Amino acid sequence: MSQASTNGSTPSVADTRKSTRTWLAFVAAMLAATSILAAAQSYSLWGATWFWAKFYWPNFASFLLPVVAFSALVAAALRWLAPGDGEGAWLRRWVWIALIVRVASVAYWPVAIRTWGYRSPEQQAGFIATDAYNASQLAWDRAQSDTPAVSAFARGHGDNTGGITFLAVVAYRAFSPDFQRPMLLGLLASCATSLTVLAVYHLARLHASRPVAMGAAVITALYPEAVVIGSSHLQQGYLALLLAFMLWGVSAVFVIGTRQTPAAEPPLFAISRRGGLILALAALVMMIAVSNQFGLLAGAVLLLAAVWLADWRTASGRILLGLLAAVVVALPVLHFLAEAEIIPDSYNVWLIQWKFLFGQAWTEFDRMLAAPGTDLFETLMVRMPRPIAFVVAGVYGLLQPVLPAAIGYRNVEQSGGGIWQVLGLLRATGWYVLLPLLLYGGLSALRGLKARRFEAFASLIFWIVAAVASYRALGDQWDNPRYRLFALAPMALLAAWGYWRWRETRSPWLARIAVPFAAACIAMTFWYIARYWLAIRPSAIPVLAGVVSLSVLTFVLMLMWPRRSRSRTPETGSPPPIP
Q: For 381-398, what is each residue's pLDDT tens digit?
A: 677 777 777 777 777 778
Residue 42, amino acid: S
Specify if 346 maps to a domain. yes
Specify if 362 maps to a domain. yes
Which distant-in-sequence residues (6+ apart) come within 8 Å of 483 by Cβ?
236, 465, 468, 469, 472, 473
- Give this prediction's pTM: 0.88
pLDDT at 410 over 70: no
Higher pLDDT, 50 or 320: 320
Over residues 465-511, the pLDDT tens digits come to 998 888 877 766 778 888 899 999 999 999 999 999 999 888 899 99
pLDDT at 375 over 70: no
Specify if 508 maps to a domain. yes
Section 4-11 average pLDDT: 48
**Amino acid 15: pLDDT:** 63
Residue-wise DSSP of 65-79: HHHHHHHHHHHHHHH
Query: What percent of the chain shows pLDDT beyond 70?
Result: 84
Specify the number of domains making up the chain.
1
**Amino acid 391: pLDDT:** 78
pLDDT at 575 over 50: no
Section 348-359 average pLDDT: 70
Which distant-in-sequence residues (6+ apart) come within 8 Å of 180 by Cβ?
136, 140, 172
Higher pLDDT, 552 or 115: 552
- Distance between CA 160 and CA 531 in Å, rounded? 39
Q: Which of 234-238, 521-525, 540-544 has the lowest mean pLDDT?
A: 540-544
Length of the chain: 579
Residue 76, amino acid: A
**Amino acid 573: pLDDT:** 37
Q: How many CA atoms lie within 13 A of 523 on its CB side?
A: 18
Specify if 269 maps to a domain. no
What band does 448 get if pLDDT is binned at 50, 70 and 90? Answer: confident
pLDDT at 439 over 50: yes
Q: Which of 2-16, 91-105, 153-167, 297-311 has the lowest mean pLDDT?
A: 2-16
pLDDT at 260 over 70: no
**Amino acid 431: pLDDT:** 92
First CA to last CA across the chain, in angstroms? 26
- Distance between CA 570 and CA 579 in Å, rounded? 18
**Amino acid 567: pLDDT:** 42
Q: How many CA atoms lie within 13 A of 67 on its CB side?
A: 23
Specify if 433 maps to a domain. yes
Question: Measuring CA to CA, which residue among 274, 473, 436 is closest to residue 357?
Answer: 473
- Distance between CA 330 and CA 22 in Å, rounded? 57
pLDDT at 339 over 50: yes
**Amino acid 563: pLDDT:** 57
**Is 318 within 8 Å of 470 (Cβ atoms)?**
no
Mean pLDDT of the chain: 82
Specify if 98 maps to a domain. no
- Distance between CA 36 and CA 106 in Å, rounded? 10
Taking phi over 0 as left and psi of -120 to 50 as alpha, with beta for the rest, 52 belongs to beta
Q: What is the CA radius of gyration of the chain?
A: 25
Residue 273 has what DSSP assignment?
H
Sign of torsion over alpha carbons 242, 248, 254, 256: negative
**Amino acid 576: pLDDT:** 40
**Is 108 within 8 Å of 228 (Cβ atoms)?**
no
Which distant-in-sequence residues (6+ apart) come within 8 Å of 523 by Cβ?
546, 547, 550
Range of the domain at 462: 342-560
Specify if 530 maps to a domain. yes
Section 120-139 average pLDDT: 80
Section 184-212 average pLDDT: 94
Residue 485 has what DSSP assignment?
G
Section 414-435 average pLDDT: 81
Specify if 101 maps to a domain. no
**Amino acid 369: pLDDT:** 67
Integer angstrom CA distances of residue 180 from 63, 101, 231: 12, 23, 17
pLDDT at 274 over 70: yes
pLDDT at 103 over 90: yes
